[in-house]
Chains A and B, each alone.
Chain A
C-alpha cells in the first residue's frame, strides 16, 4: 500500500525539516551533555580506572578517592600475607602547590610505584615513561595541562617549594578538582611538606592471583583492628563510590540533573511543536480523507508513522554529528565518556519524544473535522 506518511515526508521534506532538526538536536544535546558529564565525573576515578589494581585499601568510610586519609604502613605485610594477594603497592595522594615561571596552580600529586610492573596508572602510563620516574624529583602530567601549569616538557617547576622536572606527558590523566601530577613514591614523600604520609600511604592497592574473587578477598581482608583503621574495596566499587560522591554529594550532580531535565523538556517542547506544525499542514487533506470514510484511527497511524520517520531521520543526523563532535572532543583531550547503553537510551528518549509529539499531533486531527471543509 502506498505509504502516505513516507511519500509526504519525502515530497514535502522542507515542511518536516524543522521537526527533524528539532528531534536531532534534542538528542544530540542530551547525548553530548551526558558524554561530557560522564567524562568529567569519570576523571574523578581516573586513579582507579587508570590502574590495574583490583583492591583498594584506605581509611574507613572514605567517600571518594580524593578525600582519603593515611593508613598504617604495617598494613602492607598483613595484605601481602593473604594467599590470594599477588602484589601490594602503596599509593600517595597529596594536595600540593605548583609554581613555575609562567604560572601557579593547585595540584594533586600521585606518588606511585614506578617499577615496570606497577599497578598504579598502568593504563595511562606507557612503560618507558613510567621507568623515567626513577630519576628523583621528576614528574609526569597530562599534556592538556601543560599550559595551565605554565611549563614545557624538560622544564623545571616547584611543588610545595621543592624543585621538580617535567620528564614527560601522557593522556587521560586530567583531574576533576585540580591538575594531576604523577611522581615516584620517593619523590612524592619528598614533596610532602605537611608530612601527613609519614605514618603511611593514603592507600594500598593490591593485585590478586585470581581476578574473579575480588569481592570475597575484600571481605576476608577487611577491618582487623590490630592494623589500625582501614577498609577494603574492590576497584569497581571504589570507582563507583568516587563518581557518585562527585555526582551526588558535591551538588554538581544536582545541577547536571537539573540541566538534563531542562534539555529534555526543551527538546520535547520544540520537537512536538515542530512536528505538530508539520502534521497540521496536511490537516485539510486528512479531513477530506475522513469525509471519504477513512477513519481517524487509520489517520492516526499515518501521523505516528510520520513521527517515527521524523524521529529516525533526526537520530541519524544526531548520530553522525554527535560522533564527529565526540571525536573532535577526544582529539582535544576533552574528557568524554559514552557507552552504547547511554547512546541507546538517548536515542530511545528522542524517539519517544518524537512519538509523544506525534501523539499530540494526532490530537490535532480532532480539528480535522470534515464538516469544516463544507463552508
Chain B
C-alpha cells in the first residue's frame, strides 16, 4: 500500500478486533475488521441484530477502545489519545445521534443545541446564532422554544440532529436514528442526514437496518458476525422530497 496513491479517508478501521468478557465467557464481537469511510458521504452499516454494528460505531467514534488493530479518525490514531484527549477530540470533531434522543427534559430545543457549544467555549451570542441556524436547517426554527415533552418523536430527533451538527463536526455518527420513528419522520431524518453530508461535506456514518436508509446511502457495508461481508458503492442519488417508504 503506497500512501501517495490511496485517497485519504477521514475514518479507517484497520484489522480491528473486539471481544467482551461476560462472566468467564469471552464473546468475540468484531474479528479482524477493516473499513474505510469516504469523506462527505452517507455511509451505512447494515446487518442482522447482534452482529456488532453498534460496537463498531462506538469503536470508530472513540467511545470504545480496540483490543487489536487501529482506528484512524481524521488522521489521528485514536488509541494514542488519552480519555481526556478523546473527549476533546469528540467535542471538536464528532456529532452523535442516538436512537433515544438524549435530550434534557428541562431545556428548550434552542438550549439543547446551545449546550455543547458553550462547552466548546463559544460565546453566548455566537452560540445562539449557530443554534438558531442549526434548528433552521432541520426545520425546527419555529419550535425552538419548546421542551422535549412538547415535541413529537420526529421533532425530538431533529433537535438531536441540530445539536449534533451545530458544532459543525467533520464526523457524524448515527445509531439507528430512525427506528423509534414512523415512516414519514424516518424519511425526513434520512433525508436530513443525506443533505448534511452533501452540503457540509460531513462524513456521516450510520447504523441501521431500515430499508429506506439503505436506499438513500451512498455506500452500504453489509456486516455479519463481526465481519464486513461486502460493500455496495452507490451513485449519489438525488434527494427525494417527501419520500415515503
Asked if A11 and B115 sit within 8 Å, CB to CB, the answer is no
| A370 vs B97: C-alpha distance when bound (angstroms) | 12
Asked if A292 and B164 sit within 8 Å, CB to CB, the answer is yes
- Contact residues in B for A2 (Cβ distance below 8 Å): 107, 111, 114-115, 118
Interface residues of A in 285-321 (CB under 8 A from B): 285, 287-296, 298
Checking A12, A291, A369 against B105 with a beta-carbon cut-off of 8 angstroms, the contacting residue is: A12
Asked if A374 and B63 sit within 8 Å, CB to CB, the answer is yes
- Contact residues in B for A171 (Cβ distance below 8 Å): none
| A292 vs B147: C-alpha distance when bound (angstroms) | 20
Asked if B118 and A371 sit within 8 Å, CB to CB, the answer is no
- Most interface-central of B100, B102, B167 (chain A CB within 10 A): B102
| A273 vs B2: C-alpha distance when bound (angstroms) | 58
Q: B184 an interface residue at 8 Å Cβ cutoff?
A: no
Q: A4 an interface residue at 8 Å Cβ cutoff?
A: yes
Q: B94 an interface residue at 8 Å Cβ cutoff?
A: yes
Q: A224 an interface residue at 8 Å Cβ cutoff?
A: no
Choose, from B71-79, B83-91, B193-201, B231-239, the stretch at the interface.
B83-91
Asked if B119 and A288 sit within 8 Å, CB to CB, the answer is no
Q: A8 an interface residue at 8 Å Cβ cutoff?
A: yes
Chain A count of residues within 8 A CB distance of the other chain: 28
Asked if A291 and B107 sit within 8 Å, CB to CB, the answer is no
Checking B63, B64, B104, B118 against A282 with a beta-carbon cut-off of 8 angstroms, the contacting residue is: B104
- Contact residues in A for B118 (Cβ distance below 8 Å): 1-2
| A370 vs B95: C-alpha distance when bound (angstroms) | 13
| A40 vs B120: C-alpha distance when bound (angstroms) | 58
Expressed in whole angstroms, the minimum distance between the Cβ of A282 and any Cβ of chain B is: 7
Q: B229 an interface residue at 8 Å Cβ cutoff?
A: no
| A8 vs B164: C-alpha distance when bound (angstroms) | 21
| A4 vs B116: C-alpha distance when bound (angstroms) | 11
- Contact residues in A for B111 (Cβ distance below 8 Å): 2, 7
Asked if A292 and B104 sit within 8 Å, CB to CB, the answer is no
Asked if B119 and A374 sit within 8 Å, CB to CB, the answer is no
Asked if A293 and B92 sit within 8 Å, CB to CB, the answer is yes
Q: Mark A346-375, 1 if CB is under 8 A from B, else 0.
A: 000000000000000000000001110111
- Contact residues in A for B58 (Cβ distance below 8 Å): 370-371, 374
Determine the interface band of chain B, counting residues with CB < 8 A from chain A: 35 or more
CB within 8 Å: A-B pair count: 96
Q: A7-B106, A292-B163, A296-B87 given as contacts; is B96 within 8 A of A371 (CB)?
A: no
| A367 vs B107: C-alpha distance when bound (angstroms) | 23
| A284 vs B58: C-alpha distance when bound (angstroms) | 16
Q: A327 an interface residue at 8 Å Cβ cutoff?
A: no
Expressed in whole angstroms, the minimum distance between the Cβ of A117 and any Cβ of chain B is: 67
Checking B102, B124, B164 against A285 with a beta-carbon cut-off of 8 angstroms, the contacting residue is: B102
Asked if A292 and B106 sit within 8 Å, CB to CB, the answer is no
Checking A10, A293, A373 against B102 with a beta-carbon cut-off of 8 angstroms, the contacting residue is: A373
Among residues of B, the one whose C-beta sits closest to the C-beta of A288 is B102
Expressed in whole angstroms, the minimum distance between the Cβ of B102 and any Cβ of chain A is: 3
| A369 vs B96: C-alpha distance when bound (angstroms) | 14
Asked if A293 and B64 sit within 8 Å, CB to CB, the answer is no
Expressed in whole angstroms, the minimum distance between the Cβ of B205 and any Cβ of chain A is: 12
Q: B191 an interface residue at 8 Å Cβ cutoff?
A: no
Q: A370-B63, A371-B63 given as contacts; is B106 within 8 A of A10 (CB)?
A: yes
| A295 vs B88: C-alpha distance when bound (angstroms) | 8
Q: B9 an interface residue at 8 Å Cβ cutoff?
A: no
- Contact residues in A for B96 (Cβ distance below 8 Å): 288, 291-292, 370
- Contact residues in B for A1 (Cβ distance below 8 Å): 118, 124
Checking B55, B91, B100, B147 against A293 with a beta-carbon cut-off of 8 angstroms, the contacting residue is: B91
Asked if A371 and B64 sit within 8 Å, CB to CB, the answer is yes
Asked if B57 and A293 sit within 8 Å, CB to CB, the answer is no
| A370 vs B96: C-alpha distance when bound (angstroms) | 10
| A217 vs B96: C-alpha distance when bound (angstroms) | 80
Asked if B104 and A285 sit within 8 Å, CB to CB, the answer is yes
- Contact residues in B for A298 (Cβ distance below 8 Å): 119
- Contact residues in B for A289 (Cβ distance below 8 Å): 102, 115-116, 119
Asked if B94 and A293 sit within 8 Å, CB to CB, the answer is yes
* 27 contacts across the A-B interface (CB closer than 8 A): A2-B118, A7-B107, A8-B104, A8-B105, A11-B105, A12-B106, A282-B104, A285-B102, A285-B103, A287-B102, A288-B102, A289-B115, A289-B116, A291-B63, A292-B95, A292-B163, A292-B167, A293-B88, A294-B87, A294-B91, A294-B116, A295-B84, A370-B63, A373-B100, A374-B58, A374-B63, A374-B175
A-B pairs, top 6 by smallest CB distance, nearest first, are A293-B91, A288-B102, A11-B106, A293-B90, A374-B54, A8-B106
Known contacts A291-B90, A292-B91; 13 additional CB pairs below 8 A are: A2-B107, A4-B106, A285-B103, A292-B90, A292-B163, A293-B91, A294-B87, A295-B119, A369-B63, A370-B63, A371-B58, A374-B58, A374-B175
